[in-house]
Every structure is written in structure tokens, then in C-alpha cells.
Amino acid sequence: MQADSVRVSHGSLSVDVPRRIFKGPECRIDPAEAEPFRRMIQNRYPWLSDNSVDVLMEKARKEMQRVRDEETNGREHGRSLASKGKLDEAIRHLERRLELEPDDPDSWYALGELLCKAGRTEEGYKAFNRGRSLFPSGKKK
């Protein structure tokens, strides 16, 4: 079960930042969602400067990216890299994640897509087949 927030620290202060603040694969901060949270933090901790809250929010954004990448076994970050034209980096990222969790059929399928996009179709088809072999009978994509 995923938490509704990510925990970040700034100095000795630890804060749970709501996930709804972050949008898209880059986990960009949605100003409309972030503003009420920023006000609440500054009311609760009046000694925090605007800059400190900015630093806290950026830490939270990076932590949210890390959490999403972990939750999707690298697929979210791989898609983000690929959308920026960094196919080789996206492939390496998914390959590293699959070393940690080799029985994830969705990640094998995502790797197959990236390999095919990179013109490495034979390797891509092998990745597709590996992913397909990991799905329980009758539950193939």
C-alpha cells in the first residue's frame, strides 16, 4: 500500500509532504496544490524562510521521484528518460532495476519497448518474451 505522502527532512525538521502536490513523471510541483501546504508549513514553523520551504519542496520532489521509481521498478524513470530522448540511459536504468528484481514482467515489457525504439529489436523481442514467460497462465498482456 502506498502512503499518501513522502517524508523529507530539512535540518532537524521532518515533514510529510502530500503526494497530490506532484504531477507527471518528473514529479513537477503543482503550484495550486503546493500553495496551501506551503502556507500550512510556514504557519506551523514560522521561523522557516521562503527559501527554506523551497529547499524542502525540492527535496520532496526528488524523494517523490525516487519513491515512484521504486514503486514501478524503474519503469516511471525509464519512461521519463526515453521521453527526453535518452534511450540508452533509460535502457541502462531498467536493466539495473531488473538485476534487483528479475521477475517483474512489466519491467521486462518496458525494456522490450525501449530496446525496439533504440533499433535493438532482437534484444527487445527477447525482453518481451522474458516478460511474457513471467505472467501466470491466462494473465498475459
61 and 89 together in one domain = no
In this structure, the strands spanning 5-10 and 13-18 are antiparallel
Q: How many domains does the chain have?
A: 2
94 and 127 together in one domain = yes
> 70 falls in which pLDDT band (50, 70, 90)?
confident
Tens of pLDDT along 88-124?
Answer: 999 999 999 999 899 999 999 999 999 999 999 999 9
Q: Using CA atoms, how far apart are residues 4 and 86, in angstroms rounded to an integer?
A: 30
10 and 60 together in one domain = yes
Instruction: Locate all alpha helices (DSSP H) within 24-119, ordered by sequence.
Output: 31-44, 50-71, 75-83, 87-100, 105-117
Helix (H, G, I), strand (E, B) or coil at 5: strand
34 and 82 together in one domain = no
pLDDT > 90? residue 71: no
20 and 65 together in one domain = yes
> 86 lies in which domain range?
75-134
> 33 falls in which pLDDT band (50, 70, 90)?
very high
66 and 18 together in one domain = yes
Residue 51 lies in a domain: yes
pLDDT > 60? residue 138: no
Tens of pLDDT along 55-64?
Answer: 999 999 999 9
- What contacts 24+ positions apart, CB below 8 Å, involve 79-87? 79/25, 79/110, 80/25, 80/26, 82/114, 82/117, 83/25, 87/114, 87/117, 87/118
11 and 25 together in one domain = yes
Position 1 scores a pLDDT of 45
Position 2 scores a pLDDT of 57
39 and 62 together in one domain = yes
pTM for the model stands at 0.72
